Amino acid sequence: MNTSLPQQTLTGGAPQGAATKIPKQWLADYRWVLLVAVADLALWLWQPTLVTPVLKNTWDYFVEMVIILIPVAVLMGLFEVWVPKQLIGKYLGRESGWKGIALSFLFGTAPTGPLYAAFPIAGMLLQKGASPLNVVVFLNTWAAIKIPQLLVEARFLGPAFMLVRLALTVPSAIVMGWLIQKAIERTGGLDVAPVKPEVAR
């Protein structure tokens, strides 16, 4: 009678080697945070007089990101639940044409906040079926054509400057999105796992 237990049972139900994979994945996920921590530590060792302002800037930036990304995470959760994938595919998918481009411009002009807050939303749009062209247009609009930004630009640089820059930025965003979409098609797709539709039981 064989009384030996399987290796999986002896390790608490986890496959052998899983304990070593989790730290590696954790290091990969938080590599940029660790890099900033190492840079701050190196600065503290070699330039101690600069530590206080650098740590203050690091902390202020961290707090700003937390304040902004928490509402974005809540918005993404509501977006995931309330907005069906078919709706995104219809209005922002590859077959949406100029209507999808116009909606991408509209969605990008309304929000306020730094550009990094738009990246989780862009990733969600890709997972929901939006085309890379429309996602790039959305990101470019968020970065350079937000309505509050245009008003401030017209106030300090003049309406003529604002209109000329806008006339150059809009077609540039469309061309950039088209080129990126074509490049993605040539390379075989995106490194984004699409949302799988639920199978009716």
User: Which amino acid is residue 124, in one-letter code?
Assistant: M
Asked whether the beta carbons of 175 and 182 are under 8 A apart, the reply is: no
Asked whether the beta carbons of 184 and 190 are under 8 A apart, the reply is: yes
Model confidence pLDDT, tens digit, residues 51-95: 778 778 878 877 877 777 777 777 777 767 777 788 888 889 988
Model confidence pLDDT, tens digit, residues 20-58: 445 777 777 777 777 877 877 887 778 777 777 877 887
Q: Which residue has the tokens 């070699």?
A: 46
- Report helix angle 118-128 to 85-92, nearest 10: 100
- Report helix angle 159-187 to 132-144, nearest 10: 150
Mean pLDDT score, 179-192:
80
Tokens of 15: 């496959």
Q: Distance (Å, rounded) from C-alpha 158 to C-alpha 20?
A: 59
Please report the pLDDT score of residue 60 as a whole number: 82
Does the pLDDT of residue 193 top 50, yes or no?
A: no
Q: Which of 78, 69, 142, 74 is nearest to 104 (CA)?
A: 142
Is 0.85 surpassed by the pTM of this model? no
Q: What are the domain boundaries of the chain? A: 23-77, 83-187
Does the pLDDT of residue 175 top 80, yes or no?
A: yes
Q: Which of 88, 82, 101 is nearest to 178 (CA)?
A: 101
Please report the pLDDT score of residue 199 as a whole number: 42
Tokens of 130: 């939006």
pLDDT band at 180 (very low <50, low <70, confident <90, very high): very high
Model confidence pLDDT, tens digit, residues 125-171: 998 889 999 999 999 999 888 888 888 899 999 999 999 999 999 99
Please report the pLDDT score of residue 132 as a whole number: 93
